[in-house]
Amino acid sequence: MGSKRQAVVVTHSRLRESGTVVSEAVEQLRACGFEVSIIDNVEAPEFGVQPPVVSDDTEIVVVLGGDGTILRAAELVHCTQVPILGVNLGHVGFLAEFESFQMEEAIRRIATHDYSIDERMIAHVDVWLPGHSTPIEDWALNDITLERADRGKMVELSIRVDDVETSSFGADGVIVSTPTGSTAYGFSAGGPIIWPNVKALQLVPLAAHALFARPLVIGAESTFTLDILDDSMSDGWICCDGRRQRALPKGTRVEVRASRDTLRLARLSGVPFTERLVSKFDLPVVGWREHARANHADVRTHHGHVFPASADPAGVVGDPPASPDEEGEA
C-alpha cells in the first residue's frame, strides 16, 4: 500500500477558533486520502533569513484566508515546486482561486488533480550595507518597499535602471512590485496594473518631491538600483511583502531584479486575469455618461416636476446640444 498523499493547510488561529470552515476542509481532505498538517499564525521571519519550507513530498498547500495568508504561505514554498491553492476567507482575495462557499469543489479538484499551474514571477533583492562586501538577500511575490525610517523626514534616493541613473529625489519612499503585486500597494499608490503573463517589474514613487517622478516599468532582464544618499534626511526601511523588514542606514544600495525562482499557484483552467480584475475590483464597466443617458431615458424633470420619458416637456429633452468648443471633450 502506497504512502498517503501529503497536504498542508495554512490558515490563522482566528479562523480556526471562529467557525468550522477550517475543520471541515481538513476533514474533506482526509476523506479524499490526504494526510493533512495545519500551520497557522506563521510568524514573519527576519529579513534575509529563509524560514523552514514544507517537505518535498507535499503535494499541495491549501490556504484558507485572505491574500495576507497567501503571502505567509508563499514563504513555506519558496524555492520549492509545491503549488499553492487559495480559498478566500478574507476581503478581496485577489490571489485566491476559490471563495469559501466553493470549498467542496476546491477539494474535489485538488483530489482529482483538476487544476492548472500558474507560475508567478517573484522579485529578488540584494541589500548592500555600507562597508559590506556581500549582500543580504531576500525576495517578494508582491512588492518590496523602501521607505523613510523617520516619519517626519524624507528619504533621499537615487534611482538607476541597468546602472544608468534615471532620477534622484526625496520622497516618502518607493515601491518595486511584480505583476502579481501591481494590483496591491503599487496600484494604491497610482501605479499601473500589469497582467501576470508580462515579465516586468515596476517602480512607483511615494510622494516624491519632484516634478517628473512617475512610475517606471522595466523588463525582466533589467535591474532597479536604489541608493539611499549619504546626505539623506532620513535613514531607510525596507519591507518585503509587508512581512520581512529591517532598517537601512544612509549609503545603503538596494538592487531588485527578477528571480530565477517562481511561485506556483494552482488555478482553474480558462479563468482569465481580466475577468478576475473586473469581479474583484467591481470595476465600473458602464461609464458615467452611459448611466446619465439611461437615467434621462427613464425620467425627465421640468421646473421641479418629474415627467415620464414619454411625456417630455418642451425644451428639456435630454442635454442641450454641445457647443463647437465642447465637442469631443471627455
Q: Evaluate if residue 308 carries a pLDDT over 60.
A: no
* Strand positions, DSSP E, 234-321: 236-240, 244-248, 253-267, 299-302, 305-308
Lowest-pLDDT range of 67-81, 85-99, 260-274, 312-326? 312-326
Residue 67 marked ligand-binding: yes
Residue 7 marked ligand-binding: no
The CA-atom distances, in angstroms, between 239 and each of 110, 256, 290 are: 33, 13, 43
CATH number assigned to the domain covering 6-115+268-281: 3.40.50.10330
pLDDT of residue 189: 93
- In this predicted model, what pLDDT tens digit does every residue of 103-151 receive, in sequence order? 888 899 999 999 999 999 999 999 999 999 999 999 999 999 999 999 9
Query: Of 56, 57, 67, 227, which residue is the catalytic one?
Result: 67
Residue 187 marked ligand-binding: yes
Is the C-alpha dihedral spanning 208, 211, 212, 215 positive or negative? Answer: positive
d(CA 231, CA 234): 9
Please indicate whether residue 298 is annotated as part of the active site.
no
- In terms of C-beta distances under 8 Å and separation of at least 24 residues, what long-range contacts does 276-280 make, across chains too? 276/94, 277/183, 277/193, 280/92, 280/93, 280/94
Nearest to 48 by CA among 105, 118, 110, 129: 129
Residue 297 marked ligand-binding: no
> Given its phi and psi angles, is residue 329 left (phi above 0), alpha (psi -120 to 50 degrees) or beta?
beta
- At residue 21, the 3 state secondary structure works out as helix
Residue 115 marked ligand-binding: no
Q: Evaluate if residue 42 carries a pLDDT over 70.
A: yes
Residue 13 marked ligand-binding: no
Q: Evaluate if residue 319 carries a pLDDT over 60.
A: no
Q: What is the mean pLDDT of residues 55-78?
A: 93
What is the percentage of the chain residues whose pLDDT exceeds 90? Answer: 63
* Mean pLDDT taken over the chain: 86
Which residues fall within 8 angstroms of residue 3, CB to CB, at 6 or more apart?
57
Lowest-pLDDT range of 86-100, 103-117, 173-187, 228-242? 86-100
pLDDT of residue 158: 97
Q: Evaluate if residue 315 carries a pLDDT over 70.
A: no
Q: Evaluate if residue 268 carries a pLDDT over 90.
A: no
Q: What is the mean pLDDT of residues 234-238?
A: 98
pLDDT of residue 43: 84
For the chain, give the number of residues. 330
pLDDT tier, 33 (very low <50, low <70, confident <90, very high otherwise)? very high
Residue 183 marked ligand-binding: yes
Single-letter residue type at 14: R
Identify the CATH class of 122-259. Answer: mainly beta
pLDDT of residue 325: 44
Q: Evaluate if residue 76 carries a pLDDT over 90.
A: yes
Extents of the domains making up the chain = 6-115+268-281, 122-259
- Phi then psi for residue 83, to 5 deg, are -85, 160
